[in-house]
Amino acid sequence: MSEILVLYYSRYGATTRLAHQAARGVEQVSGMHARIRRIPALPDAHGAVPEIAHDAPPVVQPQDFEECSGLLLGSPTYFGGMAAAVKHLLDDTSRQWFKGTLSGKPAGVFTSTGSMHGGQETVLLSMIVPLLHHGMLIVGIPYSEPALAHTQTGGTPYGASHTTGNNRPLSMEERQLTQALGQRVAETAQKLLLPST
């Protein structure tokens, strides 16, 4: 069984919901399993650390990067970019960068925003950049996914997304496209793992 690391930060739960949809997509691929891990919260500017939900998955550990065959990385959108906690974790992966731990593995990204035009594309593209430095093979969402052409909510070619608005649940298109991304990353990892003939 090969595993895809579904790694995310979430303060209020919207990005967590996307992570679970991405994991469902991974599990649709026979022989592939989603390993869900969270990125821990940072202290705020005054030193207070936000509370964590009881059902939160384990905090990511260095061996998770070693043991995964691919990565799905999620962050809320904060001022058009990734949350500081996500950047903080990425800035702590120089050992993996030196070793090439993630090089050649597929990756996809996902985000949630408060508003429809609040920066989904900018944050997704900015999350892809450090993954390219790691040598990861970026997987997006193609327009052959029908929901991408008609979504009135989240979903982009650069990665999966969700617009929370006023506590809006995931739309059908957001669920479909996030699962599609998870499935594509898992299928790509599986193809890369197959011995060449």
Ligand X SMILES: Cc1cc2nc3c(=O)[nH]c(=O)nc-3n(C[C@H](O)[C@H](O)[C@H](O)COP(=O)(O)O)c2cc1C
174: number of Cβ within 10 Å: 25
Q: By CB under 6 A, name the one of 101, 113, 156, 183 that touches ligand X.
A: 113
Q: State the binding string over 15-44 for ligand X (x if CB under 6 A, else -).
A: x-----------------------------
Of the candidate spans 7-15, 52-60, 153-161, 177-185, the one that interacts with ligand X by CB under 6 A turns out to be 7-15
Residue 88 interacting with ligand X (CB under 6 A): no
Q: Which pair of structure tokens corresponds to residue 99? A: 């070793």
Query: Is the CB of residue 49 less than 8 Å from the CB of residue 41?
Result: yes
- String of contacts with ligand X for each residue 68-87, x by CB under 6 A: --------xxxxx-------
Give me the residue label for tokens 């496209």. 177
Specify the residue, 77 or 178, whose C-beta has the smaller distance to ligand X.
Answer: 77
151 forms part of the interface with ligand X (CB under 6 A): no
Sign of CA dihedral 145, 150, 156, 157: positive
CA proximity to 174, closest of 38, 74, 30: 74
Longest Cα–Cα distance in the chain:
58
Q: Where do contacts with ligand X occur on this chain (CB under 6 A)?
A: 10-15, 76-80, 112-115, 118-119, 164
